[in-house]
Amino acid sequence: MRIAKLYKIEETIRGSEPEHRRVVRQELSRPVVDQFFTWLAAQVARVSRKPDLGGALAYMLRRHDGCQLFLEDGHVDMDSNLFENAIRSPTMNRRNALFAGHDEGGRSWARFASLIGSCKMNGVEPYAYLRDLFTKLANGHLDKDTDALMPWAYAAASSWKAQLRLYGRYQRLTQIRHKRSQVAVTAVARELVGFIWAIARNAEGEMAVR
């Protein structure tokens, strides 16, 4: 029941700013965690470590500090489910990786899997990102500025470009309104509304990933 209560608290702050998550966890989650480890220590004292149950309880108690890391850092998730789900596909594809050819081929495979996984976590379409990445590299992008090539940087740049396109559509709508062309205004307005809905859906998808 204590673990379930912690997950319910996490549901209320999922996608929030790290500092907000830390404050809420300190206020609501820490008392639950402290009670749990107090109970756990009492059970370890009662149960022999030879059976599997005793060994499991002792194992958990030894990781007391690590289990409380998420209370101190709002960037840290309470569990690793997000990352385990992210690597599930490569794990299921392990047999295909046997055809990498050699060790360096396997490392290259892992690099691409990491890039594509990062794209998905940041709401970036992998093919579009890789196409943009290879184009910039072919055009002589500087090695010292590799941070600008990361998927999260591409996501931020794409969001900015989308806002510019939205502003351009707004200007078109304003100009047409001045010309009193009702038919054209309706067409562009529909396009604008559809574009806004697309941005909203993408934003919801990014919040769900976070």
Q: What is the pLDDT of residues 144-160, one digit of tens each?
A: 778 888 888 887 777 65
Using alpha carbons only, what angle is made at residue 19 by residues 27 and 153, rounded to the nearest 5 degrees?
150
Q: Could you give the maximum distance between any two Cα atoms of the chain, in Å?
A: 85
- Between 83 and 174, where is the model more confident? 83
**What gap in Å lies between CA 3 and CA 79, rounded to an integer?**
11
User: In this predicted model, what pLDDT tens digit does every residue of 6-39 receive, in sequence order?
Assistant: 999 998 998 788 899 999 999 999 999 998 888 8
Residue 182 pLDDT exceeds 60: no
Rg of the chain taking only CA atoms, in angstroms:
25
The per-residue pLDDT for 28 is 93
User: In this predicted model, what pLDDT tens digit does every residue of 96-144 receive, in sequence order?
Assistant: 777 777 888 888 888 888 888 888 888 888 888 888 888 888 888 777 7
pTM of the model: 0.45
Q: How far is CA 81 from CA 52, 118, 169, 210, in A?
A: 24, 15, 41, 12
112 phi/psi in degrees, rounded to 5: -65, -40
User: In this predicted model, what pLDDT tens digit does every residue of 43-79 receive, in sequence order?
Assistant: 888 887 777 888 888 888 888 888 888 999 988 888 8
**What gap in Å lies between CA 37 and CA 150, rounded to an integer?**
40
The per-residue pLDDT for 175 is 60
76 phi/psi in degrees, rounded to 5: -90, 135
Residue 190 pLDDT exceeds 60: no
If we measure between CA atoms, which residue out of 86, 83, 13, 71 comes closest to residue 37? 71
**What gap in Å lies between CA 145 and CA 141, rounded to an integer?**
8
